A and B are shown apart, each in its own frame.
Chain A
Amino acid sequence: MLAASSFEKMETQTQTTMEAKETTRKRMSGSEALMQSLLHEGVDLLFGYPGGAIMPVYDALYHYQDKLNHILTRHEQGAVHAAQGYARVTGKVGVCFVTSGPGATNAVTGIADAMVDSTPLVVISGQVGSALLGTDAFQETDVVGITQPITKWNYQVKRPEEIPEAIAKAFYIARSGRPGPVLIDITKDAQFAQFDFEYKPTKKVRSYTPKTAVDKDKVAEAVRLINLAKKPMALVGQGVVLGGAESELMEFLTKTGIPAAWTLLGLSAMPSDFEQNVGMLGMHGHYGPNVKTNEADLIIAIGMRFDDRVTGNVQKYATNAKVVHLEIDPAEINKIIYADVPVLGDVKESLPMITSMVSDNQHEEWLAEFKACDKIEEQKIIQPELHPVKEGLTMGEVVRRVTEKYDDDAIVVTDVGQHQMIANRYFKFKQTRSVVTSGGLGTMGFGLPAALGAKLGQPHRPVCLFVGDGGFQMTIQELGTIFQTQADVKIILLNNNFLGMVRQWQELFFDRRYASTELVNPDFQTIARGYGIAGEKVSDREDMDAAVERMAQHKGAYLLEVVVEKEGNVFPMVPAGASVSDIRLE
C-alpha cells in the first residue's frame, strides 16, 4: 500500500516510543519477524488456514509451535469467527492467518462482523510477491481495497522492515479506543526476505485519538439531568464490557436506583438477577424496556449505539426523554438519536465521575412499572414458551433447561435467527463476557466456529452453542476443527427444519408464503458421528432433562439435537418500522 519512501514517513508519524530496554537486533526473515512480533504482543493462540502466498509464514510457524498454538480451521470464515469468539470471551485480540485471493475473500464476512460488533482482531493475509501486484497474478486480490470499509485500519507490507512496526500498530489500533478488526497484507517476498529485526510497541499514532478525556462540564450536566429525572432509564451496551466497566456500572446503578436495560451485545454486563435489570431492548427484547422507552423522561445510553433493531422507528423513539449518551466513538454521537448531553470518552472513566456526583436515589415506583410489564410478558409469552400446552418442544424450554443445568453460569454462543433471540432472552448470566453472538451483521454460520474460539479462550468455563439447522450448515465443516482440537463445545441444535426467522416474517408479513425457507435436512447425528462427535436427538419433552444431563456429563464436544416446534415464533416483536412502544405480544 505504501511506497518505500512513504513508509519511512509512517515510522516518524507513528512516533513509537522506545521500550526502556532496547531489544537487540537480530537478523531473520520477515516471516520469523512476524512470529516474534506476535509473541511481543502476547499472542499464544491463533487461527488460520495456509495457502500459497502465506507459506513462508507457516514455515516460520513450524518452528514456533511450542509458543504459538495455531488452530487449523476448515475454512477461512471459520478462522475469523473463531478468533472473534476468542476475543469476545477473553478481551484479547483475536489473530488469524489467511492466504491471498480466496483465502482473504473468505475472511471478509468475519472481518465485517467484527467491524460492526467492535471486536478486536488482527488478520494477517498473505499476498503475491510485490513484483506481481496489479498483474492479476494467481490468487491475487486487492484485499486492502476490499477490506477498507470493513476494517478499523488496514495496510499492505511490501518490505520485511515494515513488519514489526505494522504489527505493533495493528495491535495498538485493534485493541484501543473502540476496538475493531485490522488487516495486514504481507507480500510473499517480504515474508521471505531477511532483515535486522527489532520490536517497539506502538504507544501512539498521530492521526488517531483512541479516546478523548472526559469533559467535566458534560459530566456535571449529565448529573443534573439524572438528579432531576423522575423516570430515568439506563441502556447498557457492549461499551461497558469492552471498557471493563462492569463494576463501575453496578456502582452507578446501585447508587441511583435507575432501571437498566441491556442491548443484545450488552448482555452479561450485569447479572441477570440484578434487581434493576429490566431485560433486553429491541425488536425481540422484553416488553417492559421497549414500552417504557417512550415513557422515560431521561435515557442514559452507556456504551451503545442506538442500532435500528433497538430503536425501531427513530421518529417515535424516546419521545418524552432527554438523552445522555456516554460513548467512546465521536461518530456515534447524534448519528441516530440526538444527545442532549454527549459524554465522550471511556465509560470506565465517565461512569465513576457521574457516580461520585449524583445523589443517592431510588426509583421504586418507576421500577415497579417495569415489573408490571414483566408480569404481562410472563403471562402472555414466557409461561407459554416455558410450559407449552402443545406437544412440540419450544426453543425457550430447551434454553432454560440448559442454562439451569449450568447454574446460569455458562458462556452462551449463538448463531443467528430465532434460536439466537430465544437463547439470549432465556439464558441467564452471572458473570461478564458470557455471550458471543453476531449482533450488527447477523451472520448465519457465526456460531459454530465462534463457540470453538470461545472454548479455547475460556477452557475452564462451559460453552453452550445454540444453533439452528440453517446456520449450522453454513459452517458445519468446523465440526472437523472441533474434532481435531477436542474442544469441549456443547452444541444444542434447535432443529425446526426451517429457516425459522425468515419463515416467521413470511408468516406475519407475507401471508405465509414460505418461499425457500423449508429445509430438507441431512441426518445430523450421522454427520456428528462422522466427525467423531458424540450426540443424540431428542423430540419428546420427557426425554429432555436426561439428555441435557448426558450432554453436561459427557467429556468433550456433544451434539444435542432437539426437534422443536416447526412453526414457533419469537415474541414479543417490534415490527419493522414500528415504534418500540408498539411492541407486539402476539
Chain B
Amino acid sequence: MKQEFTLSIYSENHVGLLNQVTTVFTRRHINIESLTTSESAIPGIHKFTIVVFTSREQVNKLLLQIEKRIDVIKAYVFTADEIVHQEVALYKVKTEALLNGNEIERLVRQYGARILEVTKEYTIIEKTGHKRETQELFDKLDHFGVQQFVRSGRIAVTKLKDELLSNYLKKLEKEKSLLD
C-alpha cells in the first residue's frame, strides 16, 4: 500500500550531494513530492528532507540505496505521526483586490496568514502550515486572482525524545575507535 513518507537524510556538505540523492529516486521512477535542504544542528552536516509517496517496502530499499552513497551519513524514514512538519507558502495578489471589500482580510485572519508587503500594485501574503492548508487558502484567494503562488518543500523534526543522528554519531565514534 502506498502512503506518504518523510525522509531525513544527513550528509557531508559536498557539492554534488543533491544529485547523488535525487538520482536514487529518479532511477526508480519515484516522484519526489517535496525536497528541502539546509544545514543541520550539527555544524558541517547537511540535512535533506524529502517527501515521497510510495510503499513501506520500497521506501526501506530507497533508504539503503541512499545510505550506500559514501558521503551520506545516515538516512531515516518517518510517517506523518512521527514528526512535526511545516511548509510555507507565498501568495501575490493585486492590492486592488484587497481594497475591494474585506474578504481577503477575512481569509488572512481565518487562516492565520500574514501580510508581508503591501505596495500600490501588489500585496504579498504568507502562510505556514501543512500542504492541505496552504492549498485551501490558495483556492480561496484565487477567486480574487492570485498572480504568483509558491510553496516550499516540507521541513520536519521528529517527536522522539532521543536525537537519532547525535546518537548515531556517538555510536560511530565508539565503533570506529574500537577498530583502530
Q: Select from chain A the residue with minimum beta-carbon distance to B15.
A: A1
Write the nearest CB–CB distance from B144 to chain A, whole angstroms: 44
User: Is B145's beta carbon under 8 Å from chain A?
Assistant: no
Contact present for A334 and B15 (CB under 8 Å): no
Which B residues touch A213, using CB under 8 A? 175
- Choose one: B23, B61, B72, B180; the contact of A148 (CB below 8 Å): B23
How distant is the Cα of A148 from the Cα of B176 in the complex, in angstroms? 27
Q: Which of B6-14, B47-55, B153-161 contacts A (4 or more CB under 8 A)?
A: B6-14
- Choose one: B19, B67, B179, B180; the contact of A145 (CB below 8 Å): B19
Q: Select from chain B the residue with minimum beta-carbon distance to A205.
A: B70
User: Is B172's beta carbon under 8 Å from chain A?
Assistant: yes
User: Is B71's beta carbon under 8 Å from chain A?
Assistant: yes
Contact present for B72 and A330 (CB under 8 Å): no
User: Which B residues from 64 to 113 make CB contacts under 8 A with A?
Assistant: 64-65, 67-68, 70-73
Which A residues touch B27, using CB under 8 A? 149
- Choose one: A6, A13, A145, A206; the contact of B172 (CB below 8 Å): A206
Contact present for A207 and B179 (CB under 8 Å): no
Write the nearest CB–CB distance from A179 to chain B, whole angstroms: 13
**Chain A 187-210, CB within 8 Å of chain B: the 1/0 string?**
000000000000000011111110
Contact present for B19 and A148 (CB under 8 Å): yes
How distant is the Cα of A149 from the Cα of B23 in the complex, in angstroms? 8
Q: Select from chain A the residue with minimum beta-carbon distance to B70.
A: A153
User: Is B60's beta carbon under 8 Å from chain A?
Assistant: yes
Write the nearest CB–CB distance from A401 to chain B, whole angstroms: 44
Which B residues touch A205, using CB under 8 A? 70
- Choose one: B12, B13, B23, B64; the contact of A206 (CB below 8 Å): B12
- Choose one: A17, A144, A330; the contact of B16 (CB below 8 Å): A144
Write the nearest CB–CB distance from B29 to chain A, whole angstroms: 15
Write the nearest CB–CB distance from A394 to chain B, whole angstroms: 40
Contact present for A331 and B14 (CB under 8 Å): no
Q: Select from chain A the residue with minimum beta-carbon distance to B71.
A: A207
Write the nearest CB–CB distance from A327 to chain B, whole angstroms: 11
Which B residues touch A148, using CB under 8 A? 16, 19-20, 23
Query: Residues of A within 8 Å of B, CB-based: how many?
Result: 30
Which A residues touch B13, using CB under 8 A? 6, 9
User: Which A residues from 1 to 57 make CB contacts under 8 A with B?
Assistant: 1-3, 6, 9-10, 12-13, 17
Q: A207 with B19: in contact, given A17-B180, A213-B175, A330-B64 (CB under 8 Å)? A: no
**Chain B 143-180, CB within 8 Å of chain A: the 1/0 string?**
00000000000000000000000000100100110011
Q: Select from chain B the residue with minimum beta-carbon distance to A329.
A: B68
Contact present for A334 and B61 (CB under 8 Å): yes
How distant is the Cα of A173 from the Cα of B14 in the complex, in angstroms? 17
Contact present for B15 and A3 (CB under 8 Å): yes
User: Which A residues from 265 to 315 make CB contacts under 8 A with B?
Assistant: none
How distant is the Cα of A331 from the Cα of B70 in the complex, in angstroms? 13
User: Which A residues from 311 to 343 make CB contacts under 8 A with B?
Assistant: 329-331, 333-335
How distant is the Cα of A54 from the Cα of B179 in the complex, in angstroms? 38
**Chain A 133-164, CB within 8 Å of chain B: the 1/0 string?**
00000000000110011001100000000000
Contact present for A207 and B11 (CB under 8 Å): yes
User: Which B residues from 113 to 131 make CB contacts under 8 A with A?
Assistant: none
Binding site for B on A (CB under 8 A): 1-3, 6, 9-10, 12-13, 17, 144-145, 148-149, 152-153, 173, 203-209, 213, 329-331, 333-335
Binding site for A on B (CB under 8 A): 11-16, 19-20, 23, 27, 44, 60-61, 64-65, 67-68, 70-73, 169, 172, 175-176, 179-180
9 more A-B residue pairs beyond the given contacts A6-B15, A333-B64, with a C-beta to C-beta distance below 8 A: A144-B16, A153-B71, A203-B180, A204-B176, A204-B179, A207-B12, A208-B70, A331-B67, A334-B60
